[in-house]
Chains A and B, each alone.
Chain A
Amino acid sequence: MEKILNQEKLREWVDMLDDCEVYAPAFADSVWNFARIEAGTDIDLSHTNTIGSVKEFVFPQREVFFRFEKKDGVPVLTPTLPDPKPTVVFGVRPCDGRGMPRNDTVFNKEFVDPYYWARRDKLTLIGLACNLPHSPNCFCQSVGGSPHSEDGLDVLMTDLGDRFHVKGITVKGVEAMERGRDAFDAVRDGDQAEVEKVHDTSRSFPQRPLGNLDAIPEAIRENFDSPLWADMAQHCIGCGICTFLCPTCHCFDINDEVISPTTGEGERVRTWDNCQFPDFTMHTSGHNPRADLGSRLRQRVSHKFLYFVENHKTQQCTGCGRCITECPVGIDIVAVLERVSQ
């Protein structure tokens, strides 16, 4: 389904989704991030990219698996499977959209994760093509994507100045558009050509090249024991910014959080974990196989460009550039891959 939506009708469409939770980018605390919007008038799609990625909607930083307590000396478990309202997210950039099928694979392949899918099945992603790259660190095209990729999105919107071209990609996406009914106009002659022109232009901006993607796994394999990793991680501070902001990083930890030791009351929770943290690989013996930051950088890069390729035949990186832009010390995954490939 393809429609035209005038800029001022966007609000109407949002208001017609009133039985859903609607999220859109908002600029608060000097940073763009997804925020819940109450009314269509709150929507602002002039964003660059959000600091947090859409993975947060399906893989929240904290997920309660179940609650436990002791009643008359007997442990009692209460399930806490999430049952969210249908959620619609506006302004999703195509790089984040492409992250979703990758996350779906991880949470579906060997084990179907009910917590992930309870949220995922209720989620509709309304993408917005990037007419201009937001940052010199965007490299979606170098990892097989594009500034108007439809992969993983339910709807793709393209800004044509006074109006949006809106394309329903999945059943969920078409449903969301049908809810907007009268807000949309039919596509007229020439609109299609204009969309193509905007898309062509968006692809013409120079992006940082990764060279031959197919050769990268072998280059990483060959350099597994290379001193390059330690050298490139020399100024790494070992924080979690790169992975927490990544649209595809999905490692987690599971802990029992005891609220009251006397009643044995508490929750089993899943929280994001991070390959850059010292306790990520800490063995119970006290031995840490990835004791230094070089081996942790190697792990992050290898997971995305070697192991994921081996296991799932695609890169676990969509070129959003967050890990580069937000790194406090300038560690740059494109530069890292360049050096490893030399």
Chain B
Amino acid sequence: MVNVEEIRDYAANLLKKGEVKSVLGFRRGSASAFAEPCTITDVGEATSLVWDPTCLNNLTLYLVKDRKQQAAAKNPDNRPVGIVAKGCDSRAIGVLLQENYFKREDVVVIGVSCEGTGVVDPRKLSAKLKGRTASRVTFGGADGINVSVYGDETETVIPAREILADRCLECRAAVPALNDVVFGEAVGAREFDEPFHAAKEAESLSADERWATWEHHFDRCLRCFACRAVCPMCYCPECVVDSTTFVVTLGTSAEEKANRIRWCERSANTSESAVYHLTRTIHLAGRCIDCGECERVCPVNIPLRLLNTKLEKEAFEMFEYQAGHDIEQASLLSSFRDEDPNSFIR
């Protein structure tokens, strides 16, 4: 078991010694039974840190946010940031390092092993409870997760296998390979499901069935852009779906304004939502590390992870490439090897 006191002490020490300006971690929030992200800057706040299967977020997002803020600041504070990272989260940091988004010395990775379990999938939990709210979710050992339902005093034990996130069931690297310290036992694989299990299952459907599925999902999309907003790899200063940098001057004609390029219309309909999601998927090819955040945050539960793992699977099968596993490796889209398959070149 991970001893949360050790994480707290380590974080407090980093702050005390001035090695980091802040530590990104998890704390209990007021909004739900799941932990919420926190940024602590005072040694005393370290006692609020928690660690359990409700620590869902990939905090790497906030490293990206910090870099953006410092880049825009008049007096940037470029001291390193500490971050509590699961195996998948550490791979996100790895991809950002490969892409030179920041440097290794900018971040202190407080690795936490998921120890053969993982995190709870709120969607699976919601399906179990038929939409009712869990008031408490605690880890009851490898076999089960204890769930209390709001308005109901009894506690039910749900087998972990049934409510763990798909990515956790398929994960083979639950110990952060990229780290400055690791807490918890080095239990890497849990073998609940084989890698790419969900993607393979989806592939077994016919093209018509697959299109029907995705048409159904794209139709439901609200275009709240939470999937993009939460993704640490979606760091473009301007996304193709926003037009925030089209500058209008006195000399801009009505024609130019009307004809400015809009790749994707505002309308939440099948075609525009398909363009949005497929653009995002392609932009994540060879970069997505399967933290599952896009799928977790979706308010209408679109299985977005499937789109990304499909490309992850292709990257692995065609190029033996796994995003974020080796920061010394050149990124998939910026490298070429003689042995790369090239049957698509005609």
> Which residues of A are in contact with B by a Cβ distance under 8 Å?
27, 29-33, 46-48, 51-52, 61-62, 132-137, 205, 234-235, 237-241, 244-245, 253, 255-257, 261, 269, 271-274, 277-279, 282, 284-286, 288, 324-332, 334-335
Contact = CB atoms under 8 A, between A and B. Distances in A.
Closest 9 CB pairs of A and B: A330-B36, A239-B226, A240-B224, A284-B248, A328-B297, A330-B29, A237-B229, A239-B229, A30-B127
Contacts of B132: 48, 134
Contacts of A253: 266
B151 interface: yes
Given A30-B301, A31-B300, A137-B31, A62 B268 contact: yes
A261 B228 CA distance: 30
Contacts of A29: 220, 300-302
A238 B265 CA distance: 19
A327 B29 CA distance: 12
Interface residues of B, number: 53
Contacts of A279: 242-244
Given A27-B130, A325-B32, A278 B299 contact: no
A329 B267 contact: no
A240 B30 contact: no
B127 A136 contact: no
Contact of B37 (A31, A48, A277, A330): A330
A329 B126 contact: no
A328 B242 contact: no
Contacts of A238: 229
A48 to B, nearest CB: 4
Contacts, number: 146
B57 interface: yes
Most buried by B among A239, A255, A324: A239
Contacts of B258: 256
B230 interface: yes
Contact of A48 (B36, B131, B228, B265): B131
A286 B243 CA distance: 10
A234 B229 CA distance: 14
Contacts of B269: 62
Given A235-B36, A335-B30, A32 B299 contact: no
A136 B29 contact: no
A255 B266 contact: yes
Contacts of B242: 277-279
Contacts of A234: 39
23 contacts: A134-B131, A134-B132, A136-B150, A235-B36, A237-B230, A239-B226, A240-B223, A241-B299, A245-B299, A255-B267, A274-B224, A277-B242, A284-B247, A286-B245, A288-B244, A324-B31, A324-B32, A325-B31, A328-B293, A328-B296, A330-B30, A330-B31, A334-B30
Nearest to B27: A330
Nearest to A56: B222
Given A239-B225, A329-B57, A255 B265 contact: yes
Contacts of B297: 237, 239, 241, 328
A61 B265 contact: no
A42 B244 CA distance: 45
B322 interface: no
B221 to A, nearest CB: 10
B267 A237 contact: no
B167 interface: no
A288 B246 CA distance: 12
B62 interface: yes
A278 B244 contact: yes
Interface string B215-245: 0000010111110111000000000001111
A330 B32 contact: yes
B230 A51 contact: no
